[in-house]
Structure 1
């Protein structure tokens, strides 16, 4: 079913000089402007397009991919302020409105903010909100320890960083688990450290314990295989050099090397690791 703010595969139902009309189902016919049409498109063919309201609040389709769809979060630039709120660049000709009521703090032109996209029930316009906790759950039982997750860094606190988890939940990366510089809006892989008794999610950027050693060891072997069996790193390498390649701490890297040495899968020299062929 076609929905405002998402990509939908829709059938071409009629042609016009200025574009084609798509079958939006419950939304009716939706114009895809001529400049957005695939070459030589005909009635009966299907086109995957994004649905939103144009500057005159008419339904319109586009094949341009916005920086986020409804139900997603993204870091967006504030372009201008008006009496209605702030308008942000989300990659489409019509900018995204974040009303004053949806701003956590007053936005200013030139700033960047992580916002959640939703459809306003009254206007049917796609709207942004910086009040993420109004839309994303902070409590869940959907995860287990060490589950991999996709993170979007959403904010900084004295305790660490708030992060959007899999575009569905909010969690926290505490300062003790921040092993690298992070920036607001950064997308990064992470893991569930724990789901607390209050069902809130604590996150980490690296696996710990046995799982960490296995994961890093596998990545070392893959890197060796891709580089003709030689890797210009060892347990004497700097933390910065190790992190640049594997995004892990030197301590976890050394433990993984120890695991591989015991398994006779590698040999180590002063400044490099070599894959054993015997």
Structure 2
């Protein structure tokens, strides 16, 4: 069965003046057109080929030998290249732009800006479309995720509370402004950790571990760094947040707490310009 909006392995049935007809081998499936302008290969009858299949404006199945940036069911960062009253168009690697209908837009789209777009197949229009209203396709709870789990996140919106993110390309979550110690913008991808799973299943995310294990890990990293640099570091509690993040990938507040804990344990000394290993 042909999967619209995905890569299919099909067979070349016949050559046409303007392209090729491809078949799945299933007599119930329609033929798929591979126009010459969508083809980057030299083909012969009977050959198998992997192609991306979608539909044109008339509903005809059309294919491309070069796949787009994402297939149906995937979420990806795309740039807006056009806007009309009925929707916005995004470049997604094909010679035909992806339409995000107005009703599927989280907020008005501006040409030239990047957005996080979910690709889907619309049964009503029989077209491959995009959406920036991600909550229609991605769940806001994940039964297998627990507090402290390491995850990857993609920022897709900014609100008064913080940054909405896609977790592991499958679920939705939120990074509160108080947990966003580095600059974030739409489309940014970052490593993170599950901070809280609320009673309703919704997920809060932090950019660093805030539990005991996270604090101990940072303290160990600071000690290792001192040992590797002759027992001295110029990275103090007076250093700029950007310097601390570049070195340890944590906030300045977390770093200050860690060196304070090490000082109380008498493992380091601290002066105005340096910290030293005891």
Per-residue displacement from partner, 1:99-156 (whole Å, max 9, x unpaired)? 2222233334334332222111112211112221111111332211121222110111
CA, structure 1 residues 210+32, in 2 after alignment: closer, same or farther (shift >3 Å)?
Answer: farther
Q: CA RMSD in A?
A: 3.9
Alpha-carbon shift at residue 213 of structure 1 (Å)? 5.0
Q: Distance in 2 between matches of 1:24 and 1:182?
A: 49
User: Which residue of structure 2 lines up, in the alignment, with residue 58 of structure 1?
Assistant: 60
Post-superposition CA distance 1:44-96 (Å, at most 9, x none): 54x33322224554222223342322122233222223343222222211111
Partners in 1 of 2:224 and 2:25 — Cα distance? Answer: 47
Tell me whether 239-248 or 34-43 shows the greater mean CA deviation.
34-43
Q: Number of aligned pairs? A: 264
Residue in 2 aligned with 1:172?
174
Q: Distance in 1 between matches of 2:194 and 2:174?
A: 10
Change (3 A) 1:24 1:112: farther
- Larger mean CA deviation between 170-179 and 102-111 belongs to 102-111
SS in 2 for 1:241: helix
Unaligned residue ranges in structure 2 (runs of 5+)? 268-272
Q: How does 1:185-264 map to 2 (within 5 A)?
A: 185-212=187-214, 235-236=235-236, 238-250=240-252, 252=254, 255=258
Structure 1, residues 145-195: CA drift from partner, whole Å, max 9, x if none?
121222110111111101111222111001111010000111122111111
Please name the residue that 2:50 is paired with. Answer: 48
**Match for residue 270 of structure 2?**
none
Task: Find the aligned partners of 2:175 and 2:147 in 1 and give their Cα distance.
Answer: 14
Aligned to 2:11: 12
